[in-house]
Amino acid sequence: MSKPLIQIRSLAKHYEMGTTVVRALDGVDLDVYSGEMISITGASGSGKSTLMHLLGCLDRPTAGEYWLDGDLVSHMTDRQLAIVRNSKIGFVFQTFNLIQRTSAVDNVAVPLFYARRTRTREPSLKALERVGLAERAFHTPAELSGGERQRVAIARAIVNEPKILLADEPTGNLDSRTGRQIMEIFHELNRSGVTIILVTHEMSVAVQAQRVVRMKDGKKLEDRAIDSTFRSELLSTEPREPERSPPTARAIGV
């Protein structure tokens, strides 16, 4: 079997609040292979968003190791982490995080500017075409629907052709029909070889992955491939309120 694209061992993230230590993530192991599509789910406070931030190199672990594409990233400097984010990871957030007075194509180009690419227009238009929004390239976010804004955010996430796409509640602000359209884009990207990690509280979204990782109290409760029994079990779970992670400038290339 090939080596995992992502390999984490005993990964932990602790916060000190006065004399109290909050174990947001507590000794998690996880392997993700190239071309997989997995979901990470759990209640608010389960540690799923903390795990996503660590996987996205937006934060450093308190303990443990994180290997990404053969590199030990858990001990990298801020500058080294920025290079990894810009070259290997794309981010999609629930709140879109677009620059309001800038056209769709220029929003998509933001990671290319931070990567100091000399050519930005052609790859940005190509990314918009991949998500079915080429005809709206020169419209601002105010002129786009919620689903179209999320398509722009996805195009921005893939413009650098990352190895991994991290999506945090990507359908949370969308109606069910638009959410299904956005999920089909993720499936198309996955079929083209992009490794996708979805962080979601929506079981109807989680079951569309090949595997579901369930988190509880900072620990990995379950890591299981989707089959008909597990699918039915997940869909019968009561829906929970979304856990929103604030977008960060680092996630779009800073």
DSSP string computed for 4-33: PSEEEEEEEEEEEETTEEEEEEEEEEEEE-
Domain CATH for 181: 3.40.50.300
Q: Which residue has the tokens 């996630």?
A: 251
Domain-located, residue 18: no
Do 235 and 207 form a contact (C-beta atoms < 8 A)? yes
- Which has the closest alpha carbon to 139: 171, 104, 166, 111? 104
Residue-wise pLDDT for 14-33, tens only, equals 998 888 999 999 999 999 99
DSSP one-letter code for 8: E
Residue 236 belongs to domain spanning: 34-60+76-252
CA distance 81 to 201: 28
Residue 231's φ and ψ, nearest 5 degrees, are: -60, -50
Q: What is the pLDDT of residue 138?
A: 97
Burial of 72 (0-12, 13-18, 19+ CB in 10 A): exposed
CA distance 11 to 180: 33
Do 21 and 15 form a contact (C-beta atoms < 8 A)? yes
Helices (H) and strands (E) in the chain, counts: 9, 10
Instruction: Inform me whether the pLDDT recorded for 72 exceeds 80.
Output: yes
Domain-located, residue 26: no
Burial of 95 (0-12, 13-18, 19+ CB in 10 A): middle
CA distance 150 to 165: 14
CA distance 55 to 6: 8
Domain-located, residue 143: yes
Q: What is the pLDDT of residue 113?
A: 82
Domain-located, residue 23: no
DSSP one-letter code for 184: H
Domain-located, residue 66: no
Number of domains in the chain: 1
Kindly state the tokens that stand for 21. 């230590």
More confident residue, 250 or 168: 168
Residue 240: left (phi > 0), alpha (psi -120 to 50), or beta? beta
Residue-wise pLDDT for 118-176, tens only, equals 788 999 999 999 999 999 999 999 999 999 999 999 999 999 999 999 999 999 888 98
Which amino acid makes up residue 124? S
Domain-located, residue 3: no
Domain-located, residue 70: no
CA distance 35 to 31: 12
Residues of the chain above pLDDT 90, percent: 73
Domain-located, residue 121: yes
